[in-house]
Chain A
Amino acid sequence: MLKDELRSCTGGFEKGLHTELRGQVSRSRSAALLNGNLISNSRTDVSGVSARVYKGGVYGFSSMAEYSSQAADKVLKAAHDNAVFMDTHVPAGKPDIKPLGKGEYVTDVNITDAPQKTYIDFARQLDDYVAKACPKLISRRIMAVEDSVEKLLKVSDGTDAHTALPRSYVYAMFTAATPSGQPVELFKAFGGEGTFDVNFADPAELYADIDKLYQSILQKADGVYADAGMKTVVLGGMMTGMLSHEAVGHTVEADLVMGGSVAGKMLGKQVASPLVTLSDFAYEAFGKRAPLPVFVDDEGTKAGDVTLIRDGMLVGYMNSRQTADHFNMAPAGNARAWSFSDEPLIRMRNTAVHPGTSRLEDMIASIDDGYYLIDSGNGQADTTGEFMFGVTMGYEIKNGKLGRALLDTTISGVAFEMLKTVDMVGDTVTWSSSGYCGKKQPMPVGMGGPALRCKVMIGGR
C-alpha cells in the first residue's frame, strides 16, 4: 500500500482557496508475442505528486516526478503561483467552488506485483496453443498486460481518499487471408479489474474463447462486404457500449457542453426512443460491481451514478465540481486524472444503456434483411453527436436468420437521431473495459449495454 507522505503537507493549503494534493504510483507491465517472437518485454513504474489550486474561476496546477513531502510542498507553491498568475492576468471573477464537506475513503484493494516471467510464460503458453489450434492464421499476436494506479488524495474540502485500480488483460489479435489473399484481422480482449496474477491463473481457461475467435475470423475471411445504405440492424452489446461512450457520453461531458456540444441545446428534450435509458455508473451497475469502479474522484467528490438519458429524455451531464456549479447540478465523481502529472478532467467511468426485455434470438428473427453487428475495432464521434464506428465482426440477417459473415465495414449516424429508431432492447448487458478513452489524457473506462435493434447507415465497401 502507498505510504502516506502527504499528511504533513496539508498545512500548506492556502486558507480560502480550494486545493487538491495528490500522490500517485502508476505501473504498467507488458509482454507481447508476434508469431511467437517476444517483441515487447517491458515494465514501467512512475510516481509523483501534483497539486491544483482554484482562484476566482481559474486553476493553477503543478506536478513533480517525486513522491515525497518535499516535492508536495514545492508543487503546492507552484500551483498556487500559477493560480495567482492566471487570476491576475485573466481574472474570471467567479465565486469559490461550492463546498462538499469533509470525508474519508480508504480502498480495500491491494495491488500485488507479479514478476515479469508470469506475463511472458502466460503469453507463451497461450501462443503455443494458438499456433497449434489455429493453423490457418497467417499472423497472430498475443499480449499480456497490466496497468495499475494507486492514489492518495488530500483536499481542502471534500473527501480525502486512498484509491487503487488495477486492471489486466490478455489481447489476442489474429490475421487470416481471404480466398483472394487479402489479409483480414480480428481482435479480442480478455480480463478486467484486478492484477494479472488474480485474473489469469491458467492459460487453458482461455482456450475455448480462442477457438471461438478462430472460428469467427475464418468466417470473416470467407465473408462479404455489407451493402451500403440505411439498414435495420441489431447492434451487439459491445457496439452499444461504444455508442454509449463515444456518440452519447462525450457529448454530455459538461466541459464539452460548454465547448459547444449539441447536448447543450437538448437537456430536457427527447433524444432517444422511450426504451432507452443510459447511465454512467460509478462502482456498481445492475446489481454487480462495475467493470472499473470509481469510489472517489480526483477532486474529492464521492462517486455516484449519473443518469444521462431516462426513458429517452436527456436528463443530465457529467460534471466536475466547477461545471456542476455552472450548470447548477450535483457533481458525481467524474473528474479523473490518469498520471500524477495530469489534472482532473471530466471523464466517464462505466457508461451503459440499461437492459430491456427482448431476447437476442427474437431481435434477429424480427429482421428480414439487415445485419447483426457484434464487435467494433474503434470508434470516433463528434460533439455534434455524429459518430463513425469500425465494425470488425458481423453477420448478414436474411429472413430472420444469421447469414454470411461480414468483412470490415463502418457504421455512422447522428446519435440522437439514431437512438430514436431503437425499437427493441436486449435483456443482457455486455461490458468491455480494455481500452483507453482519449481526451488530452488517456483514461481506462468501462462501456457496455444490451443488444439494440435500430436503423443505422452502414458503409459497405
Chain B
Amino acid sequence: MTELCKYADKVLKEALKLGADYAQVTVSESEKKEFNVDGGSFSLMRTLFNRGVSLTVLKDKRKGSVSMNRFGDAEAANLVKDAMDACLSGQPDEAWEYCAEPCEEEFEYGAPECDTDKLFMRTRELLNDIGERYPKILMEQMITDHTAAKVVYLNSNGVCYKTHNGAYGFMLMYSAHDGDRGTSFFYNGVSTKTLDRPVIEEALLDKELSQIQAQLDASPLEGKFMGTVVLAPGALTEIVLQTALYNFVSDGSLIDGTSIWKDKLGQKVADDRISLSFEPLNDKMVSGSRYTSEGFKAENYDVIRDGRLNSFCLSHYAANKTGNRPAPNDSGCLVMKTGDKTLNEIIAGIDKGIYVMRFSGGQPAPSGEFSGVAKNSFLIENGRITRPLTETMISGNVANMLNDLVGISSEASVDGSSVLPYAAFGGVTISGK
C-alpha cells in the first residue's frame, strides 16, 4: 500500500506542477485466482496479476482522463502530459467541478485474502452437488474466482482513501438436457465474503437450478392476453429496474432532457409499496464502494421511497448541468424493499399470467416501452403455476408497470451485490404462438 500511495502522490504532484487546477489519481493493484468449468468439466485455472493508474485533471474548467498500467518515473510524466493534452484539447464547461472536502480514511472489507484450496474445494463441491441433485443440468460454463485489490485514491482537495478488499465470485451458466430435449440457457451468480457454507445454498442458486430442470417439459403458450407477470429477481432487474434507472433517472437522459421523469422529483412515480435504493454500505453487500468516483464518502440513498421519486442517480457534472443534487454514491448495490406476502401467496392471487426468470429484449425505449422474449417462464392459471412455457413474447411500458403493482414478495435474493425480491405487475401483453 505504501508504494501505491507514493506513486499516487508522485502523479498528483506532477499534474499540479504542470498546471492542473484539480487532479485525482487512482492507483490499484490486484490479484485474481479463477477456476473455469466448461461443458461440465474443469478446464482452466488462472492467476492474474493486475495493476493500473488513472488520472483525471481539470484546467480552466476543461477535463481530461487517462489511464494506463505502466509504472515508473517516465511513465508518470507521460500519463500527466497525456491527461493535460487531452484536457486542454476540450472546451471549458462550468459544470466540471470536484468539490469533496479534505478527508483521509482507510477501508478493509470483504475477503481480502484468498484461500485458494478452499475455493477449489467449494467449486468442486458445487459441481458435484449440482450433478447429484439435478442430473439433467449441463453446466455450459462455471467461473469461480477470488479477487483481492489494494486501491489508493488521492485528489488535490486533500482527499485520500486507501482500500483493501476482496470477494469470492461464482458465476453459473447452464441449461437442462434429456435426450433430444433441451432448455434455454440460464445464468445466475453470487459473490461472498466467506466460503463457510456450500455455494449451492447461496442466493437462489438451488431453487433456480431446480426450476431450469423443470423447464424440460416446456410447451408453447397459445394465444395472446393482457395479464400479470411475476418477475424473478433477475428478470425484475432486466425488464423493470434497469430501464427505470437508465432511462428515467441517469445522467444521459436528464442532461438531454429525454427522461420522462425529469420533472417528477418528489412526486409519485410508482405504487406506494415500491422503494428502491442503492446501498453500498449495507452489510449484505460484499464489495460496495466506500467512496464515489468524485471523491465523496459514499452513503446509501433511496431513488424511490414509498412510490415517490426521491433522488436522481446523477454525477456532479450532470447535477450541475440540470440543477439537481448529485447522488450520494456511484449507484451500485441495488436494494428493493420486500413486501409482506410470500411468492406463493402472490401467485395464489393471480388468475392468469406468467412467471418469468429471464428476459431477452431489445434496448428499452426512452419512453419505457419494451418488448422481448420471456425466457425460462411458467404459466400461472387460477392461482398456481401449471406448466413451463417455451419462448413467449411480452411487451408493456415500465413506467406504467411501476404503477400497476400486484405484489412484492417477502423473500429476496441476496447475492452479494443486490437484495431483490420477486415482484408481480399487471398490464403486460403476453403473446404465445
B184 nearest CB neighbor, chain A only = A382
The CA-CA distance from A59 to B45 in the complex, in Å, is: 7
Which A390-432 residues have C-beta < 8 A from chain B? Answer: 390-392, 408-410, 412
**A residues 35-52 with Cβ under 8 Å of B?**
35, 37-39, 41-48
B65 to A42, Cβ gap below 8 A?
A: yes
- Bound: A256/B67 CA distance, A: 35
Residues in B neighbouring A92, C-beta threshold 8 A: 41-42
Residues of A within 8 A of B87 (CB): 41
Q: Decide if B362 touches A44 in the complex (CB within 8 Å).
A: no
Tell me the A332-359 residues at the B interface (CB within 8 Å): 341, 343
Q: Evaluate whether A382 and B258 lie within 8 angstroms (CB atoms) in the complex, with A82-B47, A408-B369, A410-B372 already known.
A: no
Minimum CB–CB distance for A18 against chain B, Å? 14
B17 at interface, CB cutoff 8 A: no
Contact of A65 with B by CB under 8 A: yes
Contact with A along B25-66 (1 / 0, CB 8 A): 000000000000011111111111111100000000001111
Contact B256 A86 (CB under 8 A): no
User: Could you tell me if B49 and A44 are in contact, using CB atoms closer than 8 angstroms?
Assistant: no
CA distance A461 to B139 in the complex (A): 35
Q: List 26 A-B contacts (CB under 8 A).
A: A38-B90, A42-B65, A42-B67, A42-B86, A43-B65, A43-B67, A43-B82, A47-B70, A63-B46, A63-B49, A65-B50, A65-B69, A116-B64, A121-B89, A141-B252, A258-B39, A260-B185, A388-B360, A388-B362, A388-B373, A408-B365, A410-B371, A412-B393, A440-B141, A459-B393, A459-B395
Measured between beta carbons, the chain B residues less than 8 angstroms from A383 are 140, 175, 182, 184-185
Question: A265 at interface (Cβ–Cβ under 8 A)?
Answer: yes
> Whole-angstrom distance between the alpha carbons of A377 and B39 in the complex?
31
B interface residues, tally (CB under 8 Å) = 72
Does A61 lie within 8 Å of B180, measured CB to CB? no
> Measured between alpha carbons, how far is A142 from B47 in the docked complex, in Å?
39
In the complex, B224 has a CB within 8 A of chain A: yes
A-B pairs, top 8 by smallest CB distance, nearest first, are A390-B362, A259-B140, A139-B256, A258-B39, A117-B89, A183-B366, A82-B45, A116-B86
**Interface assignment of A90: CB less than 8 Å from any CB of chain B:** yes
| B interface majority secondary structure | strand
Most chain B beta-carbon neighbours within 10 Å: one of A34, A259, A412: A259
CB distance from A396 to the nearest CB of B (A): 18
Instruction: Assess A384 versus B365: contact at CB under 8 Å? Given A38-B91, A41-B63, A46-B69.
Output: no
Q: Which of B43, B91, B361 contacts A410 (CB 8 A)?
A: B361
Q: How far is the CA of A265 from the CA of B177 in the complex (A)?
A: 12
Q: Which residues of A lie under 8 Å from residue B38 when comparing CB positions?
A: 255, 258-259
Give the residues in chain A near B183, CB-CB below 8 Å. 384
Q: Does A83 contact B (CB under 8 A)?
A: yes
Q: Is the CB of B50 within 8 A of A341?
A: yes
Q: What residues of chain B lie closer than 8 Å to A184, measured between beta carbons?
A: 365-366
Q: Is A41 a contact of B395 with CB atoms below 8 Å?
A: no
Contact of B140 among A82, A89, A175, A260 (CB under 8 A): A260
Assembly CA distance A62 to B32 (angstroms) = 10
B317 at the interface (CB under 8 A from A): yes
Chain A hits for B256, CB < 8 A: 34-35, 138-139, 141, 175
Chain A residues near B140 (CB-CB < 8 A): 256, 259-260, 383
B391 at the interface (CB under 8 A from A): yes
Task: Verify if B431 is at the interface (C-beta below 8 Å from A).
Answer: yes
Among B38, B48, B251, max chain A CB count under 10 A is at: B48
List the interface of chain A (C-beta within 8 A of B): 31, 34-35, 37-39, 41-48, 58-67, 74-75, 78-79, 82-83, 85-86, 89-90, 92, 115-117, 120-121, 124, 138-139, 141, 175, 182-185, 228, 255-256, 258-260, 262, 265, 341, 343, 377-378, 380, 382-384, 386, 388-392, 408-410, 412, 440, 457, 459-461
**B residues in contact with A67, CB < 8 Å:** 70
Asked if A37 contacts B255 (CB within 8 A), the reply is: yes
B391 and A185 form a contact (CB under 8 A): no
Q: Inside 8 A of B372's CB, which chain A residues have their CB?
A: 388, 410, 412, 459
Q: Is the CB of A37 within 8 A of B89?
A: no
Is B66 a contact partner of A43 (Cβ separation < 8 A)? yes
The smallest beta-carbon distance between B171 and chain A, in angstroms, is: 9
B66 touches A48 (CB 8 A): no
Chain A minimum-CB-distance residue to B63:
A41
Contact A34 B255 (CB under 8 A): yes
Chain A residues near B366 (CB-CB < 8 A): 175, 182-185
A457 to B372, CA, bound (A): 11
Residue B102 interfacial (CB < 8 Å): no
- Is B367 part of the binding interface, using a Cβ–Cβ cutoff of 8 Å? yes
Does B301 reach chain A (CB closer than 8 Å)? no
Q: Say if the beta carbon of B143 comes within 8 Å of chain A.
A: yes
* Besides A116-B89, A383-B184, 18 other A-B contacts (C-beta < 8 A): A34-B256, A37-B255, A39-B251, A41-B86, A43-B65, A45-B66, A63-B47, A66-B70, A117-B85, A175-B258, A185-B366, A228-B224, A255-B38, A255-B39, A259-B141, A341-B50, A391-B362, A460-B371
In the complex, A408 Cα to B362 Cα: how many Å? 9
Nearest-CB residue, chain A, relative to B91: A38
The CA-CA distance from A83 to B45 in the complex, in Å, is 7
Q: A39-B317, A386-B391 are in contact. Are A64 and B143 (CB under 8 A)?
A: no
